[in-house]
Amino acid sequence: MSDVLAITEHRRGDLRDVSFELVTAGADLVGDTGGDLHLAVIGGDVDGFAEALSLDGVDTIHTVSEGDEFNHDVYVQAITALYEELDPTYILAGNTVNGLDYAPAVAEALDLPLVTDAVGLQNDGTLEVTREMYASKVESTVEVDADRAVVTIRPSEWDAAEAAGEPAVEAFDFTLDESRVRSRVTGFEEVGGGDVDISEADVLVSVGRGIEEEENIELVQNLADALGATLSSSRPIVDNGWLPKDRQVGQSGKVVTPKVYLAVGISGAVQHVAGMKGAETIIAINTDPDAPIFDIADYGIVGDLFDVVPELIERFE
């Protein structure tokens, strides 16, 4: 039997989606190993977060009341102390800005191997981690040659857990070494150009190189307005300077999971698909019936966007 400890994430008072995906990944893994799934909630509204994370498959939630926001030094100390107390076989974290901040330090402190950016996990006696390589064109399987490991999972690769459960909730107390806490979060400041957060949008209308000219983006913006949606784009649009970086969807942009993703003039390169394949419903408009975007689309329109988009705008207005 092998237990799993999953480290949940929150930011500015809200649990992040990857926390619920970690529950699914962790539950699947303990299904293979026959152990228990433990969740760690570190800082913030730990009681409220624990209530939201009381999900099927979770055995115990451990709350650590230290600070309000993510802090590298606090997380490393708390996770190390939890590991020594619980003795889990695997530690799971999100392959996120926060997760990639503390996971290497935790692995180093505990002398454990670290495997990042997992898109699949399996254990039939040995942990096997599926990762993608060469801009997601190739999948590789990493066999972990160790009894224990720290693994980060890619956001949006696992479904978010939803079914309610009744895990035990336990406050975890440990002695924080304040001398090793060398930074504190004092506030948040939005970066320039960050007028919207496309990762929070329910409906995205995304524009690609099929738009041809910068002045044509207004047409797609009008469609987004008619739908009450947010405008996003593929990388070429940002590289051309036609939209700011915060609008880019994809491997080098943002990972999004909207209820509806409407791709306009986007071919569906693997780098772009990696950032939006978690959408609930994908709709594509492209002149090429063999465009890769249609391989993952739920609905597709083969046609010239300059003919299709005006008709859609008229319908929705």
Q: 292 and 204: one domain? A: yes
Q: 167 and 228: one domain? A: no
CA 120 to mean position of chain CA atoms: 14
* CATH code for position 291: 3.40.50.1220
Does residue 188 sit within a domain?
Answer: no
- Model confidence at 227: pLDDT above 90: yes
Q: 54 and 124: one domain? A: yes
Predicted local distance difference test score (pLDDT) of residue 224: 95
- Model confidence at 190: pLDDT above 70: no
C-alpha distances (whole Å) from 126 to each of 88, 152, 186, 192 are: 15, 17, 43, 46
Q: 46 and 160: one domain? A: yes
What's the pTM? 0.77
Please count the structural domains in the chain: 2
In the chain, % of residues over pLDDT 90: 83
- Model confidence at 192: pLDDT above 60: no
- Give tens-digit pLDDT for 58-67: 999 999 999 8
- Nearest alpha-carbon partner for 234 in 291, 189, 289: 291
Q: 95 and 35: one domain? A: yes
* CATH code for position 138: 3.40.50.620
Domain containing residue 171: 4-180
Give the residue-averaged pLDDT of 38-49. 97
Predicted local distance difference test score (pLDDT) of residue 186: 84
Does residue 107 sit within a domain?
Answer: yes
- Give tens-digit pLDDT for 125-174: 899 999 988 766 788 999 999 999 999 999 888 999 999 999 999 999 99
Predicted local distance difference test score (pLDDT) of residue 199: 87
Predicted local distance difference test score (pLDDT) of residue 177: 92
Q: 32 and 107: one domain? A: yes
Does residue 186 sit within a domain?
Answer: no
- Model confidence at 48: pLDDT above 90: yes
Q: 71 and 169: one domain? A: yes
Does residue 185 sit within a domain?
Answer: no
- Model confidence at 195: pLDDT above 80: no
Predicted local distance difference test score (pLDDT) of residue 194: 57
Q: 172 and 203: one domain? A: no
Does residue 189 sit within a domain?
Answer: no
Query: Which of these three, 132, 153, 180, is where a domain ends?
Result: 180
